[in-house]
Structure 1
Amino acid sequence: MRFNSALLAAAAAAGTALAQRPTNTSICDYYTMALLKENNATNQYTLLTLLVNTAIIGNYTQPNVGVSVPGILNPNGMYNNTKVNLVPYFDGGLASTNEGGSMGVAKNFLDGGGAAPLMKNMPADDMTSNQ
C-alpha cells in the first residue's frame, strides 16, 4: 500500500476531507489531533502504528467509522473480482525473500503471533520474532 493511500484511508476514518486540513499544519499533526485528540510524539507513534496495523490486518479498532479495510493479510482478499491471498508471502509459505540468491528463502514474518499482537498494537508476542 502506498503511504499516500494509507493517509487517504486515515482521512476517511477521521470523517474529514483532506481539503479541510490547514495548509500550515502537517498531515501527521492534523490527523493525530483529529483521531487521538492530543498532538505529541507518543500519539504520533500510535497513529502510525494504527495506520500500519490496519493496512496489514484490516479494521481492528473500535469504533470503526464505516471505512472497510480488509488488510493485506486477509486470506480471502479480493482485487478486481479476483481472489488474492498474500499470506504465504508472510508466513513462510513461499521462498519469497531476497535471501538465498536466485532461489529465495521462505521466512515466517508472523512467527511472533501474527495478527493477535498487532491487535494489541504490539509487534510480536516475544522478543525473538521476525515481526
Structure 2
Amino acid sequence: MDSGFRLYSSMVLLFGNKNYGDHLGFIVTRCPNCRSDQVFAVHQERRKLTVYFVPTIQYRVKQYMTCTRCVTRYEIAEELKTEIAERLMTKDQLDKVLGELSGGTPLTTPSCLVCSSSLNAGMKYCPQCGTRLI
C-alpha cells in the first residue's frame, strides 16, 4: 500500500572561497605614479575554493607590487613574473642595498611583514590586515 509520500534524505553542502596572501619580497624600480625609483613590496594573492571550510582547489593566483611611498598597487603581468622573481630581495638584502646607497646608514621604514603596509611606532596590530605585530 503506497500512501504517495516518500521520505528523502537531504544533505547540506557548505562551500565558499577564501583569499590567502603571501609576501614575496621587495624590488626597486621606477614608480609610474611617483615618477622616481622606489621600493616596491611584492605580494601574491591566491583564491581557493573551500568545502566545509577546508581549502580544496586553488583557482586564481595574482601577484601585485605596491609602492612603499605612494602606496599605489600594480598587478604584475604574467610575462613579467619571471623577471620580477629574479630581482626579488629580502628585507635584509634591501636594507643592505639602501644602507650602501645612503652612505652606510641603513634606511628602515617599519612595515607589516604580511601585507607590507606602513606602520607607526607603538602599533600592536597592522591597520591594513590586522596581523599582530611583534
| TM-score in terms of structure 2 length | 0.25
| TM-score in terms of structure 1 length | 0.25
Which one has a bigger Cα radius of gyration? 2
